[in-house]
Structure 1
Amino acid sequence: MTNGKAWGPYLLTVAGAATGLGTIAMGLPAWAGSFIVACSVLAGAVLRLLVPHDGDSLLAVRSRRTDAVISAVLGVALGVVAVSVAVQWIMGRQ
């Protein structure tokens, strides 16, 4: 059985994704919600590296480093898309 610390990065990412989608559902711009999701995925990647490994992992297929790198790349890509959409949205408003 896994300990409670191992769930931290995953719960943070899911909570951030739910918050980002909730902001979009409330009527805020899509780039704002996307930026929240990107930040939560990046924070999850950092936590995945910082949480100590106790021998029992939720992901037995991948290593912690591989999981963190994949999450970081996804978070950066989401952040770049969110910022580029935000710039277009701001330029269109002027």
Structure 2
Amino acid sequence: MEFGVPSPTFNIFATLALLNIFSFIGGIKMVISDVENKVLDLFTSQIVLSGLIVLINLPVYEGLFFRKDSGRIPNSVTYKSLIVSLLACSIALH
């Protein structure tokens, strides 16, 4: 996929993809730290769905972090998306 130009659409895609990967990592962290397996019983389907969406968004993550050519997502879009995603996650934790 070619992402080369900064577009408001890429801001939305990247922000949603980052929110999803942060949620997936948080869910996995909760499952690992849970002793009584209550979290796994309650949230199995949500964790599986989030994992599938992470797999679908692999080209977006590649464009955000791994590509070094002219087809990558611009740094300005990456920074904006990271800031908005981290802000949303920090607000959700309180």
TM range (shorter): 0.3 to 0.5
Using the size of structure 1 for normalisation, the TM-score is 0.39
Using the size of structure 2 for normalisation, the TM-score is: 0.39
Q: Which has the higher contact order (CA 8 A, sep 6+)?
A: 2
